[in-house]
Amino acid sequence: MIIDPSVARNMSNLEQMYVDNNYFRFQHFDSKQGKRLAAVAYLSVIVNQQTLNKQFVRKINEDILAQENPTAESILVSLRSLGIVTEIDEMGMVADMISDAGIVIFIEGLTVCYGIGIPGYETRAVDQPSSEINVRGPREGFTEDLKVNMGLVYRRMKTTKLKSKIFVLGRESQTKVMVVYLDDQVDASVLREVEERIESVKLNIVVDSAQIEEWIQDSPYSPFPQIMNTERPDRVVTALNLGKVIIFTDGSPNALIAPSTFTDFLHPSEDLYEKFYFANFLRLLRMLTLLISLCGPSLYIALTTFHLEMIPTPLMLTFLSTKAGIPFPTFLEALIMEVAFEILREASIRLPRTVGQSVSIVGALIIGEAAVQSGIISRPMVIVVAMTGIASFTIPSFNTAITLRLLRFPLIFIAAWTGVLGLALGMFAIVLHLCSLRSFGKLYLPTFNSHRWKDVTEHYLLLPIKHRRQSKNDTSYASMEGQVREHEDH
């Protein structure tokens, strides 16, 4: 439907489109003779009413309507002093502008109208990210406002090479999604792939970046996260400098980083602000806790069920003495405790923060002690499950920690059935799966067959700051891409 020269008919059409909408408003501007000269349409709950009344109403009365025969060009020049003006010639675009916190100005006799965004909805203040707590380093986190998030990035990266492209996703929500990258660092093939996958998203409503992440990832049925999400501007800036692509979603505080490797999910941004030897100690510790979190209970089950000869005699006698009188096999003990621990963890997340921490700590102590005192669970099993749970808390990425918790259960079943041999095969299958994954065409698990030692070292350990790579042109992605081609050629 095109714009009618009659303001009255345009208002009538809009009233039909926004029927039963209590917040649709329009202001009339009439001549002394009662002839309608102009009108402004908007939604009162999402525009800045103060800006509308002080600036736009005055501009229309004193400037535009004061002209004897206002033309489209003269009106456009007058409005540009108030913001970015969009010339609209179709009613569908009018509805899009109004729904996107904008006002639309109609002038009698013109077959075009003018839209300007003046959002007035409440936004959350910049605060420390709740999911990425750090001891040292910046404490600002992204919010749900796209402009605020881009401002946090521009504040840390003052360069004209920072580029961005906007996509609109969601047939009903019309959510803005912004792709951000450094023009001289980004891999053109990765950028093109990201844009094509975003354009392929077909959803009615896009509320959070998690929906986009699930849609555009390479292997949607893999339990491992393949796209890093973060609330930290410093992490985004570091990723941009390494040639990665950032995806912001309006309404979501989580930015997506593509491509990502498995090791990215194990290293918090805080590592960059510590001495390299201390950061490397923590990185090695996290790799150890990753193994404990993944196969701690299953290894205990395999050793105590099938391979007692591998346990030192004094320790074996201790295990056997605590096991006496327990009515359940070791496998069932582990399963009961793991399920109980997961229930407590989920309860602590859903409850208010102050209450949730108390529930998780006190609940674990009470349940563990009661289970031991009643003779249902052995003390070593309580220790193993507790250490496994604590180890999972050291994983910086929440999505990766959930994956490890999920994979722990099939490994428990395999260990109870086939012992250490089955556990080794299960771990081998997981590593094989990681090696097969790709993130936008790049290797997901950094391999050790590179001719440049820095290519691998920087994925697992932190070099002294003078020896670290400073940009994408000196990162491992170039050699890793060569590895992918080499594998495909063979």
Sorted by where each begins, the domain ranges of the chain are 7-117, 146-260, 275-442, 446-489
In this prediction, residue 334 has a pLDDT band, given cuts at 50, 70 and 90, of very high
pLDDT in tens, 116-148: 999 888 888 888 888 888 888 889 999 999 999
Which residue did the predictor score with more confidence, 230 or 349? Answer: 230
pLDDT in tens, 220-279: 999 999 999 999 999 999 999 999 999 999 999 999 999 999 999 999 988 889 888 999
Give the residue from 282, 283, 301 showing the smallest Cα distance to 385.
301
| Burial status of residue 221 (CB atoms within 10 A of its CB: 0-12, 13-18, 19 or more) | exposed
| pLDDT for 475 | 44
C-alpha–C-alpha distance, residues 468 and 462, integer Å: 8
- The mean pLDDT of the chain is 87
In sequence order, which residues have a C-beta less than 8 Å from that of residue 67 and are 6 or more positions away? 74
In this prediction, residue 37 has a pLDDT band, given cuts at 50, 70 and 90, of confident
Give the residue from 88, 60, 4, 98 showing the smallest Cα distance to 12.
4
Is the pLDDT reported for residue 449 higher than 70? no
* Token pair recorded at residue 282: 């923590």
Is the pLDDT reported for residue 357 higher than 70? no
SS3 content of the chain, % helix, strand, coil (to 5): 55, 15, 30
| 402 backbone dihedrals φ, ψ, rounded to 5° | -65, -40
Strand (E) or helix (H) holding 29:
strand 24-30
C-alpha–C-alpha distance, residues 319 and 333, integer Å: 14
Give the strand order in the sheet containing 175-182: 162-169, 175-182, 245-249, 255-258, 228-230
Which residue did the predictor score with more confidence, 359 or 143? Answer: 143
In this prediction, residue 484 has a pLDDT band, given cuts at 50, 70 and 90, of very low
In this prediction, residue 217 has a pLDDT band, given cuts at 50, 70 and 90, of very high
| pLDDT for 240 | 94
Q: Given phi > 0 = left and psi -120 to 50 = alpha, else beta, which region is 34?
A: left
| Burial status of residue 174 (CB atoms within 10 A of its CB: 0-12, 13-18, 19 or more) | middle
| pLDDT for 79 | 86
Full-model pTM:
0.86
332-341: average pLDDT: 91
Specify the 3-state DSSP secondary structure of 251: coil
The DSSP annotation for 30-71 comes to: E-TTS-EEEEEEEETTTB-HHHIIIIIHHHIIIIITTSSS--
Specify the 3-state DSSP secondary structure of 128: coil
C-alpha–C-alpha distance, residues 209 and 144, integer Å: 11
The DSSP annotation for 307-368 comes to: -GGGS-HHHHHHHHHHHTT--S-HHHHHHHHHHHHHHHHHHHHHS-HHHHHHHHHHHHHHHH
